[in-house]
Structure 1
Amino acid sequence: MLTAFEALSRGTRLVYSRGLRRYVFLPILVNLLVYAAMLSYVFGEFGGWVDSWMAMVPTWLNWLDWLIWPLFVVSLLVIVFFSFTLITHLIAAPFYGFLAARAEVELTGREPIDDRGWLKTGVDALGRELVKLGYILPRMIGLFIISWIPVLNLIAPLLWAAFTAWTMAITYLDYPMDNNKVSFTDMRKRLATRKWPSFTFGGLVTLVTWIPLANLFLIPGAVAGAVLMWDRHYRDLPALTQRR
């Protein structure tokens, strides 16, 4: 069975080959500008955010400051990471949809089951990103609330880690599935059916996205890697819902 690491490695080599590079460098440039702007803002506000959170800790838990402070910092870093990821993927979605389609031809020899033109593909990719946001944001807000609740916030980093891996799986595996007319609901059910490939791929992509600067060049490889994962793990699963 194809592993997440093998998929990411092969995908990264492919996207920088001739014929696919043109789908890679423009989103890298856009994402670099977004990262620079947002990091500048976060660095200026980060200390104040942590101090505000620590001020909410009850006095009877002061003896756990040594544990609560790093947990708050980790939770805040994950939240910031999520915000970066949502914004950059919303901007890059049309490019990644095209990249996934071309990667599928190169990797499998099959054209995606997609009769949309280039313009409609780009517009639909943005619409699909909004559908993802509608799924992710309420759950993200719920975890954010948990992160503020004393005692419960001690497990918040673990919940964020699991949720992040699941979200990354949804984000990237959706590109080839959307190109093959798999509905968003059906896509999530297929991922849930194959939990191990889904979480290992999503977890690996999460680790990649945390590598400063290098992540901008590795993320396109995750798109092509998702095509391989789709072909080996999810394509042959029966359709669970009709596409809307």
Structure 2
Amino acid sequence: MLIKHMQCEKNSLDYFWQGCQLITQSGLRRYVIVPLLANIIIMSLLLTWFFHEINYLLQWGMEYTPTWLHWLGYIMSILIIIVIVILFCYFFSTLTNIIASPFNSLLAEKVEQRLTQQQISNITLVAILKDIPRMIKRELQKFIYYLVRAIPLFLLQFIPAIGHTIIPIAWFIFTAWVINMQYSDYAFDNHKISLKRTRAILYQNRHQSLGFGMIISVFTMIPLINLIIMPIAICGATAMWVDKYQYQVDQLELDFYD
């Protein structure tokens, strides 16, 4: 099994396509339905609000643009919209994941079971529903992790020049990291691995983590495709767990992170 792991040379895009394939497989489709429905309902409501408010949000952002930079109006508008879209996408993802977290965990378990051909646990939907308070607590921990880092980034937007050039790029990279952590965490959580250890393992594989997160971030911004991106991301991230991350859990030294 270790030899198979060492021979695995998949990249982030490979795992994204594997996620696309997995959600269509017989036996897994029924575990995709509930997260998919949650995604569609919440996305539809938030998109309606977003397009209704986008002009107001854009004007609000331009009010904080220094006068001497108004000649860059078009570029500034695009950058402001990018930041708003990134914030919207992550807020949407967080809200959806909190609601659908029990079903996302079940989907990750069934995907791992399919890929390993082994019974992972005796987890049932009833058992997962009983575990909802702990799952919600973990989702909130991830949200707090995001906020603590997002607030300084948000404030840096108001620094002339830097705020409208470097910060949008930093937002995209940071969001990609957090989105990858979000979807990878279901497989880790199914094995009761702490969020701290999960982040450490993902950091060890930061290039692949960021690559996968960037792919998911881009597709999250595409209408219609963003409705099915959540189960695809969970399946792809779980495949990474099976091929790579599970072998690193016992080997990881956390001294640096303590």
Task: Give the match for residue 145 of structure 2.
Answer: 135
Which letter maps to 2:108? A
Task: Give the match for residue 32 of structure 2.
Answer: 24
Q: Which runs of 5 or more structure 2 residues have no equivalent in the other structure?
A: 1-8
Contact 1:5 1:204 in 2 (8 A): yes
Task: Give the match for residue 10 of structure 1.
Answer: 18
Task: Output the aligned Cα RMSD.
Answer: 2.1
The CA deviation at 1:217 is 2.1
Q: Which runs of 5 or more structure 1 residues have no equivalent in the other structure?
A: none
Contact 2:109 2:187 in 1 (8 A): yes
Match of 1:34 among 38, 42, 45: 42
Which letter maps to 2:157? S
Whole-Å Cα distance in 2 between the matches of residues 11 and 76 of structure 1? 27
Q: How does 1:112-191 map to 2 (within 5 A)?
A: 112=120, 117-154=127-164, 155-191=166-202
Which letter maps to 1:39? L
The CA deviation at 1:241 is 4.8
TM-score, length of structure 2 as denominator length = 0.86
The CA deviation at 1:229 is 0.6
Decide which moves more: 70-79 or 157-166: 70-79
DSSP 3-state at the match of 1:150? coil
TM-score, length of structure 1 as denominator length = 0.90
Q: How does 1:1-244 map to 2 (within 5 A)?
A: 1-112=9-120, 117-154=127-164, 155-237=166-248, 238-241=251-254
Q: Deviations over 1:119-158 (max 9, x none)?
A: 3444432222111111112212222222233222121110
Whole-Å Cα distance in 2 between the matches of residues 54 and 78 of structure 1? 17
Seen in structure 2, the aligned counterparts of structure 1 residues 180 and 43 have a Cα distance that, compared at 3 Å, is same
The CA deviation at 1:53 is 1.5
Decide which moves more: 18-27 or 46-55: 18-27
Percent same amino acid at aligned positions?
33
Which letter maps to 2:139? E
Runs of 4+ in structure 1 deviating by more than 4 angstroms, as ranges, are 113-116
